[in-house]
Structure 1
Amino acid sequence: MPETAASAAREILTGLHDVMAARGSTQSKLDRVVDLIAEAMKSEVCSIYVLRENALELYATFGLNKEAVHVTRLGLGEGLVGTIAETGGILNLDEASTHPNYAYRPETGEEHFHSFAGLPIIRREEPIGVLTVQHDDPRKYEDVEIEALQTVTMALSELLASAGIADGTKGRARDTGSQQLAGLKLVAGMAKGVAVFHQPKVTVEHTVAEDTEAERARVYAAFRKMREQIDNMTRDAEFGTGGGEHQEILETYKMFAYDEGWSRRINEAIDSGLTAEAAIERVQQRTRARMQEIDDPLLQERMHDLDDLANRLMRIVSGRTGTAAQQGLQDDAILIARNLGPAELLDYDKRRLKGIVLQEGSLTAHVTIVARAMGVPMVGRIDDIRHIAAEGDPILLDGDQGTITVRPSRAVADTFAQAMASSQKRREEFAAIRDKPAETTDGHRVTLMVNAGLAEDAANLDAVGAEGIGLFRTEFQFLVAATLPGRESQYKLYKEVLDAAGDKPVVFRTLDIGGDKALPYLQDEKDEAENPAMGWRALRLSLDRQALMKAQARALLEAAGGRHLRVMFPMVSEPWEYEEARSLFEEQVEWLRKRKRMLPMVTEYGCMLEVPSLAETLDMILPRLDFLSIGTNDLTQFLFAADRAEPRLAERYDWLSPAILRFLRRIARQAKEADVPVRICGEMGGRTLEAMALIGIGIENFSITPAAMGPIKAMVRSLDAGAITAEMDRLLADPPRDLRKSLTGWAKRHEIVLD
């Protein structure tokens, strides 16, 4: 066996090139190929299975019984070979028979062999066969051997495709009727348009290089062009006030474009004898295989960015640079992609791009954050979309429900159109009261602010009619960054937010990271927990890593120099945690004062009540608070011991339960007696019926999503605060079995505007 993967693969590819160029039947060529691979790998067995009619058929072998050829067949998921084809993964076993999916086929005579390595043969992202090697001795194959075989499978893919003997898995007929598909809600909103595929896959037609140096030159030229494109995007991207998280995302994207390790791996693949296109795909397949092994969604997102760049590089090197964005959208479009990088999304005409459907996607993905800033509805996790929809098919997208309808019937399309028209009419009604106060019919004033995490949100306060930002999630900047954001980059973001908000208040929540918002560059084995929501996160983590909190404190204090600073600490469980966090900030104030830096004119400190234990010590902490915010999302799951990420519990515990409302009323009354403002920050405050009930128990301040501003203000302006207060007192004194039903009936009788 040669010493390097490149030399091993080159030796086999040279022989494969001759085989493919020679005359003869496909069978004779494959028979020669398995002999060639077995000899180069010094392997007792080499076999090729071809996917035909959804079964893996033994098509050629060296080492197994020849009588088994065209006789042995394994279904997808059956045996080791079927498992490889179904999952697209690699198996490398020192003892094949111990694997749970091992299926013995007596006609092959394979019982004498112990070690086993199998790799999928991929064509257009679909398995069309499997290559296996076996040894008599029980040993795992070395990485260099597996890498060589991975390169060889690319040439085999070309050979099988040209021979036309493999069916693959796309032979099934595509349904042309109407279909509704459910996915993951990523960006809210409704949209309709025709299906446009972001980029048809560039199929590698030639894998074996004639001239290695010529292929290397092609790749170098493609890299230069790609990096120039990324530089231009990073420079030209505009998001209102600019900068912020989107700039961080694009800088991370740019970092990958200039990654020398990535270009080196492509060069090594060219050294093994592959063409430029095949080398890029070879490295891309390896990246995708690694993605499947990574559980961390943030690290997966980094891999998605690299996958996106590989697609871009492939298009450039092949001369097929015409993505749907470059070709131009001709009609209102629903863009379909396996996944998207943020830079690719920015290529599109915002006037025509109405919605996005992803096969993958996540709430914290870079492209989700960018799409939200662009105001483009998006649904993810629609696994089979590329098999169900065709280019030009009409699609209805409901980002509020996380569903799409492909080729809708006339009745469905009419209903959707009515819903969109109704939604547009409501938006117009909300716009009409945007600049009017959130005041009840009996003159009770309610303060409506927004939750935010992007600099652009601060610039849009007037557009949504918000009175400020009641919760600015500072962790967003950390979640999208490849490395720990320094004090200077934090300072720039906070200053930009304050500048954009002008005279309107901004409440900065200190870092709420850890737990289910893990950062790979801060990860510690000790941080892992079975229930991350109740673990080492938020203020607990910040107090443990005080250098992190000091840097944030200094950035906030300097950014607010000469202005009003409002700071809020998350997940405070006991008063001493708040005191320690506040002392840390005040130490930084003294540090800056000694150095004659401009300080905030006023600094207010508050905390979030999310942990029920804090409610039992309010008398101790309220005298030290300038304001109190209640995080209803975490508070609810802690009160009911119900993980909000658990689907079976998600709808079981109602916000309009006596337990929640009595708890919140007690807090509101106690805070009012201490003259400390209370604000609701959480989804509960953004729902009209729940917000009505909250006003009835004494809550006057809300921080909600921008999309909820219109509905909540309309509800407030139709409400008599005195009447709902009396009704809530009555209902909570002797709660009915279904409090939600009772409140809904009351709202209808009093003509309250609800969603």
Structure 2
Amino acid sequence: MLGILRNLVQEVNSARDLQEALEIIVSRVQNAMETEVCSVYLLDPSSNRYILMATEGLYREAVGKVSLGHSEGLIGLVGSREEPINLEDATSHPRYRYFPETGEERFRSFLGVPIIHHRRVLGVLVVQQRESSRCFDEGEEAFLVTVSAQLAGVIAHSEATGAISGLSLTGEEARDVSFSGVAGAPGVAIGQGVVVYPAADLDVVPEKQTEDIDQELQLFAGAVTAVREDIERVARRLASQLRPEEQALFEVYLRMLGDNALPAEVNNRIREGLWAQGALKQVVQQYVRHFEMMDDLYLRERAVDIRDLGRRLLSHLQEGDQQEQDYPDRTVLVSEELTPAMLGEVPREQLVGLVSVRGSGNSHVAILARAMGVPTVMGLVDIPVNQLDGKELIVDGFEGQIYATPSTDLRAFYQEICDEEDELVRGLEVLRDKPCETTDGHRVSLLVNTGLMTDVVRSLSHGAEGIGLYRTEVPFMIKDRFPSEQEQREYYREQLEAFAPNPVTMRTLDVGGDKALTYFPIQEENPFLGWRGIRVTLDHPEIFLVQVRAMLKASEGLNNLQIMLPMVSNISEVEESLHLIYRVYHEVREEGYDIHMPKVGVMVEVPAAVYQVRELADRVDFLSVGSNDLTQYLLAVDRNNPRVAQLYHSYHPAVLQALVRIAHDAHAVGKPVSICGELAGDPGGAVLLMAMGYDALSMNAASLPKVKSVLRSLSREWAAQLLEDVLLLDSPHVIKSCVDLSLRSAGFGRYLRPGRTSASVLLEQS
């Protein structure tokens, strides 16, 4: 059965569309289980009905025509119960529903299993048998459940691909095709999708039509010639070092590149209107599928050679297709995995939104997107990225939704939200130079998180009182080597000068986890619990010492530098870091620099630090909570894993209790405490944090005006009562709703995110 299942999954993965995938499933499952009928019913989201989409054994004319209500018949029962139903005589069951056009009255035995993906029922997979005496056994039931679980993701992906292409399950025009992800950066964007992808990766090449077939044929011919010459050159160079059987591999490659082999099939698809890279991808995947299904181990492993050859050809194609990318005026950048470098390719005035399949709302790219003020959605697990190129997209960065090919009504709905956001931002500009002080006189400092020099102008224009977190890894990430001391000094001086005399808190290099340096790779199975933050820099004091030296020299004459240590979990790490910082301070003074010893603080972002706040505070000048990482570690949720993203919640009772404890313990020993996580940039979160006693809130610049407006309009007494009320609640969703309701009642509804239900109601009405 394992062999059958492996071949089935490979075949279905290689299907061109949903219908072909379903026909493969019913044919192979019917044959494997030696049953008379195998059918697939899919739940159509628009009508909420199960539609017979493919069958082996029932009348083919019924495909696409027979449908059942959401709770109708045995199919509806399997879907609503979300578990298998195995019956010896289906016709005697009270929920049995007979459709004469299928011819299923001949079949008595029934086994149906739900097709479920990410808690959503996609459909039902059914097998039936004529003899009433046959009851499918436990092994057959387990096999069908396994098939369903294995193929649910493929079916979901194929469904989405068809919908984006403009067709629903019923063959009608599909509009407002939505995908749920994770909110990455707040805001709404309406624009045109532009898919970007890493070089020489066939899997992510988008499907695009070409208007110049001759040019694509010429490009591909050039790639074939170049690869053939590469292989011949390598073969000649290694001829004396290889045995004859090893040299034969090069002959295999050259034969595959023959005029009547792989190139001929690619050329045929180009002539059908597909661009060269997409044609190559389709042919290579078809070849790979055939080889992987072969029983002979040697032949099966030739699929690796095909993939390698495909990558070589694609690499040359991409070199020959290096014309300047033309970005539309309203570009929504889409990728399997966005990188900071990709963001930098698009002129800022043309970039309106970002969509990334991988990552989460707290991944590094999402943090950069928030700093840039670009609405972003991350973690769209099953979205067919290759189909989004050139499509009109709506990016809802408030609720983590994107919509492809939106209807006029939906576009108008989101355009109104865009207009309201712009108006709100303009209305808050008058608060820029006013202090953040509650109606009863309580003062809170509002700081910004930065990493790019472009953040500085936006931060100052929004009234930031300093930098609560300068991410020093950003200058490291945009280089192909470690920046020199002088280069770092220049970066740091820009930030310190821009905000002087206000404080600038610089976090020492924090790599590992979701922040990787290409020239300093850290390969770990569990990077968030591995070698990252202060652990890396203490193991490499040469990196730490150079960075601290650059910081201190950059602060000469300004003296507004504060240094913060990330990922601290032990007192010894603080003591060792302080020893190195004092050593550098004295060395720089001896070199003649007139500098003051900066304040040094610790980031509280792992649970161990929560319970050592007093001990840590005895050794440093200030504490700052990194609530993004602290939430991740307290809840044991990888914040970059979209499959568990719904479990990551800043309003979780355990998170709020920890934050209360940190503020209390820090103040008990007389040390100031700030917070620089995303919770601080949420108006409701800021109210709770102010009530807890945090001295400063650090956030992205775009959030600062809203937070200031809310905090200036209420009393600390009111906020303290709200905090007291929510600390009695045991659900993060209830807590969030309670905070939102209180803010709406107090007249701050315009600062809250528009609810997903609003768009849902609009779609239902249309």
Q: Distance in 1 between matches of 2:648 and 2:333?
A: 37
Given candidates 678, 697, 703, the residue that maps to 1:702 is: 697
Per-residue deviation, 1:477: 2.6
Q: Distance in 2 between matches of 1:654 and 1:184?
A: 12
> SS at the partner of 1:547?
helix
Given candidates 599, 608, 611, the residue that maps to 2:606 is: 611
User: Which runs of structure 2 are paired with 1:91-490 in the superposition (5 Å)?
Assistant: 176-178=173-175, 179-183=177-181, 187-194=185-192, 204-206=216-218, 207=220, 313-315=319-321, 321=323, 323-325=325-327, 329=328, 332=330, 334=332, 351=349, 353-355=351-353, 375-379=373-377, 391=390, 394-490=392-488
Q: Distance in 1 between matches of 2:317 and 2:223?
A: 23
1:588 corresponds to 2:588: no
CA offset digits 1:5-31 (Å, max 9, x no partner)? xxxxxxxxxxxxxxxxxxxxxxxxxxx
| Paired AA for residue 633 in structure 2 | F
Q: Larger deviation: 677-686 or 512-521?
A: 512-521
Say if 2:359 and 2:642, in contact at 8 Å, map to a contact too: no
Match of 2:566 in 1: 570
Q: Distance in 1 between matches of 2:162 and 2:746?
A: 58
Q: Distance in 2 between matches of 1:563 and 1:422?
A: 40
Say if 1:76 and 1:86, in contact at 8 Å, map to a contact too: no
Q: Distance in 2 between matches of 1:439 and 1:557?
A: 33
Match of 1:128 in 2: none
> SS at the partner of 1:576?
helix
Relative to structure 1, the CA distance from residue 553 to residue 212 in structure 2 (aligned partners, 3 Å threshold; closer, same or farther) is: same
| Paired AA for residue 315 in structure 1 | D
1:497 corresponds to 2:495: yes
CA offset digits 1:573-615 (Å, max 9, x no partner)? 2322111101101111122223x24243341111111233334
Q: Distance in 2 between matches of 1:628 and 1:210?
A: 57
> SS at the partner of 1:566?
strand
Match of 2:617 in 1: 622
CA offset digits 1:311-332 (Å, max 9, x no partner)? 764235xxxx47534xxx4x65
TM-score (normalizing by structure 2) = 0.57
Per-residue deviation, 1:572: 1.8
CA offset digits 1:66-107 (Å, max 9, x no partner)? xxxxxxxxx9984799489569xxxxxxxxxxxxx9x99xxx
Say if 2:488 and 2:550, in contact at 8 Å, map to a contact too: yes
Q: Distance in 2 between matches of 1:307 and 1:497?
A: 45
> SS at the partner of 1:563?
coil
Relative to structure 1, the CA distance from residue 519 to residue 708 in structure 2 (aligned partners, 3 Å threshold; closer, same or farther) is: same
RMSD of equivalent CA atoms:
5.0
Say if 2:194 and 2:388, in contact at 8 Å, map to a contact too: no
Match of 1:166 in 2: none
Per-residue deviation, 1:722: 2.5
> SS at the partner of 1:458?
helix
CA offset digits 1:292-346 (Å, max 9, x no partner)? xxxxxxxxxxxxxx99996764235xxxx47534xxx4x6555667888988876
Say if 2:362 and 2:640, in contact at 8 Å, map to a contact too: no
| Paired AA for residue 625 in structure 2 | I
> SS at the partner of 1:628?
strand
Match of 1:639 in 2: 634
| Paired AA for residue 177 in structure 1 | A
Match of 1:240 in 2: none
Q: Distance in 1 between matches of 2:375 and 2:633?
A: 32
| Paired AA for residue 551 in structure 1 | V
> SS at the partner of 2:582?
helix
1:537 corresponds to 2:529: no
| Paired AA for residue 405 in structure 1 | Y
Given candidates 534, 539, 544, the residue that maps to 1:549 is: 544
User: Which runs of structure 2 are paired with 1:57-96 in the superposition (5 Å)?
Assistant: 78=7, 82=11, 85=14
Say if 1:174 and 1:387, in contact at 8 Å, map to a contact too: no
Relative to structure 1, the CA distance from residue 592 to residue 313 in structure 2 (aligned partners, 3 Å threshold; closer, same or farther) is: same
Given candidates 687, 690, 693, the residue that maps to 2:688 is: 693
CA offset digits 1:21-71 (Å, max 9, x no partner)? xxxxxxxxxxxxxxxxxxxxxxxxxxxxxxxxxxxxxxxxxxxxxxxxxxx
Per-residue deviation, 1:739: 4.8
Per-residue deviation, 1:667: 2.9
> SS at the partner of 1:699?
coil
Say if 1:449 and 1:468, in contact at 8 Å, map to a contact too: yes
Say if 2:363 and 2:639, in contact at 8 Å, map to a contact too: no
> SS at the partner of 1:440?
coil
| Paired AA for residue 699 in structure 1 | Y
Say if 1:458 and 1:469, in contact at 8 Å, map to a contact too: no
User: Which runs of structure 2 are paired with 1:27-66 in the superposition (5 Å)?
Assistant: none
Q: Distance in 2 between matches of 1:670 and 1:625?
A: 14
Relative to structure 1, the CA distance from residue 201 to residue 402 in structure 2 (aligned partners, 3 Å threshold; closer, same or farther) is: farther
> SS at the partner of 1:608?
strand
Relative to structure 1, the CA distance from residue 736 to residue 174 in structure 2 (aligned partners, 3 Å threshold; closer, same or farther) is: closer
> SS at the partner of 2:625?
strand
Q: How many residues align?
A: 525
Per-residue deviation, 1:556: 1.1
> SS at the partner of 1:483?
coil
What 5-or-longer segments of structure 1 have no aligned partner?
A: 1-74, 88-100, 105-168, 217-267, 290-305
Relative to structure 1, the CA distance from residue 569 to residue 308 in structure 2 (aligned partners, 3 Å threshold; closer, same or farther) is: farther
Q: Distance in 2 between matches of 1:448 and 1:357?
A: 29
Relative to structure 1, the CA distance from residue 607 to residue 402 in structure 2 (aligned partners, 3 Å threshold; closer, same or farther) is: same
Q: Distance in 2 between matches of 1:563 and 1:507?
A: 13
Say if 1:557 and 1:599, in contact at 8 Å, map to a contact too: no
Per-residue deviation, 1:696: 1.5
Match of 1:711 in 2: 706
CA offset digits 1:401-445 (Å, max 9, x no partner)? 343323322331232122222222221222232232211111211
| Paired AA for residue 205 in structure 1 | L
Q: Distance in 1 between matches of 2:635 and 2:224?
A: 67
Say if 1:77 and 1:85, in contact at 8 Å, map to a contact too: no
Q: Distance in 2 between matches of 1:426 and 1:411?
A: 23
Relative to structure 1, the CA distance from residue 688 to residue 339 in structure 2 (aligned partners, 3 Å threshold; closer, same or farther) is: closer
Relative to structure 1, the CA distance from residue 344 to residue 462 in structure 2 (aligned partners, 3 Å threshold; closer, same or farther) is: closer
Say if 1:574 and 1:614, in contact at 8 Å, map to a contact too: yes
| Paired AA for residue 532 in structure 2 | R
Given candidates 715, 719, 730, the residue that maps to 1:720 is: 715
Per-residue deviation, 1:709: 0.9
Per-residue deviation, 1:662: 3.9
Say if 2:674 and 2:696, in contact at 8 Å, map to a contact too: yes
Q: Larger deviation: 336-345 or 443-452?
A: 336-345
| Paired AA for residue 577 in structure 2 | A
| Paired AA for residue 174 in structure 2 | G
Say if 1:472 and 1:509, in contact at 8 Å, map to a contact too: yes
Match of 1:26 in 2: none
> SS at the partner of 2:393?
strand
Relative to structure 1, the CA distance from residue 453 to residue 348 in structure 2 (aligned partners, 3 Å threshold; closer, same or farther) is: closer
Relative to structure 1, the CA distance from residue 590 to residue 400 in structure 2 (aligned partners, 3 Å threshold; closer, same or farther) is: same
Match of 2:678 in 1: 683
Relative to structure 1, the CA distance from residue 614 to residue 335 in structure 2 (aligned partners, 3 Å threshold; closer, same or farther) is: closer
Per-residue deviation, 1:196: 6.7
Per-residue deviation, 1:519: 3.7
TM-score (normalizing by structure 1) = 0.58
Q: Distance in 1 between matches of 2:388 and 2:470?
A: 39
Relative to structure 1, the CA distance from residue 187 to residue 742 in structure 2 (aligned partners, 3 Å threshold; closer, same or farther) is: closer
Per-residue deviation, 1:624: 2.8
